[in-house]
Amino acid sequence: MPSTIIDSAIFGNIFSTDAMRAVWSDENRTRQYLLIEEKLALVQGRLGIIPQEAADEIIRNCDLAKIDMAKLRAQTERIGYPVLGVVSQLNALCRDKLGEYCHWGATTQDITDTATVLQIRQALALIDEDLAAVSKAMAKLARDHRDTPMAGRSNLQQAVPVTFGYKMAGLLAAVERHRERLSQLRPRVLMGEFAGAAGTLASIESGAMETQEALMRELGLAQPLIAWHTVRDTIAEVGAFLGLVGGTLGKLSMDVKLMMQTEVGEVYEPYAHGRGSSSTMPQKRNPISSCYIHAGISVVRQHAAALMDAMMADHERSTGPWEIEWIVLPEAFCLLAGALKQARYVLEGLEVDAAQMRANLDMTHGLIVSEAVMMGLGRHIGREYAHDLVYDICREALRQKRPLLDLLAENAEISAHMTRAQLAELCDPSNYLGQAGVMVDRVLASLKD
């Protein structure tokens, strides 16, 4: 009976995806064990390390359909590791004791680690697809809203005007950096393990390094320079990458939640009948996907830290930190897959209310462009003096609840240098967007595909 949010029949496809769960399933893990044993027998038969007849028999029986999964569960509970159970069943399937040549020179961790790397390769391919889709959706929003003015915010207060395209382009740039990180980490992370009991391959008298090289070539993995049984930086790097991606998705979800507030109302998650409604408040439209993203990626970040803990392994084969990876790596991938799925849903159907963005810009009656006024006046009376003068006028505008433009135009010291029309130009938020559009264009121009 499923008991976690990832495997839940109710919540499972909210917090994860079928495709990512399949990668980390018992069946797929066992399939990778069998693939490695098959390729090991193939290579060792070719090199003459084991009899070709044995290699052929082992290869013939490396079939997931032939593995008794219930028996494997019992074997694993008794032994402590599933690889030995798989090898035992595979041995029994082979005729004339030819299965004794299965797993020749390998150790449990060789097969386990290499299978994990094969699963990581499959999982990263899914992450890559989702990141590409997220990038595409963000790029469209950045392009469509390059010049859509809105309030930039600092400490949750209106700061200076920006554009919604600028906001999206900032996130897009981060997503593109993640895609670059992914391409950079693959050569380091997608590295197999075949090193024997303490990493020296002493159990194979001749052809040890040739076996290792050929096995990795068959699996499409990099050959390690040296055993990494207890040097786990590459696995931790994967966790760090997942945490970084999650952090960017969390930033997206946070901004969407804040912009969906009733008092703000600038964007909305895609509408679906009944989605986000309350059991008692019919008017509600809650940021459902953003909440799921926030929850999922918060756990991913904790799992990234746990993978750092797993690096502190003892000697050449460790006494426990390794198993941390078994627990958290699948969950981290599954939860991030769910967060990416929700992010795609939000971005591909996001409702943008440009009129409300403009209304929010105007709600302070010009105060949001006080910096623009200060800089404009600074040319005439000095920046610091202009700052203090505009500061005092802003306080008065708040007290009197009048437009900033009116008080500026009424000030004799200011009107001596600038007309009301000139001040009106300074007080228009759409005239104070700086290089936002240029920066959006730069991000869009940098996209590889």
What positions carry a catalytic annotation?
278, 317
Q: Which of 251, 122, 123 is nearest to 175 (CA)?
A: 251
Local structure of residue 152 (DSSP, 8 states): E
Distance CA(424)–CA(101), nearest Å, equals 86
Q: Phi/psi of residue 268, each to 5°?
A: -140, 145
Q: Which of 358, 407, 330 is nearest to 29 (CA)?
A: 330
267-268 and 351-352: which strand pairing?
Answer: antiparallel
The length of the chain, given as a count of residues: 449
- Give the three-class secondary structure for 345: helix
Dihedral angle computed from the Cα positions of residues 378, 384, 390 and 391, in that order, rounded to the nearest 10 degrees: 160
Distance CA(442)–CA(445), nearest Å, equals 5
Q: Could you tell me the two tokens for 23?
A: 């990668």
- Identify residue 101 by its one-letter amino acid code: Y
Distance CA(159)–CA(148), nearest Å, equals 16
- Greatest pairwise CA separation for the chain in angstroms: 106
- Give the three-class secondary structure for 149: strand
How far, rounded to the nearest angstrom, does the alpha carbon of residue 216 sit from its chain's CA centroid? 28
- Identify residue 429 by its one-letter amino acid code: P
* Residues in Cβ contact with 416 at an 8 Å cutoff, skipping those fewer than 6 apart: none
Q: Which of 406, 409, 410, 418 is nearest to 375 (CA)?
A: 418
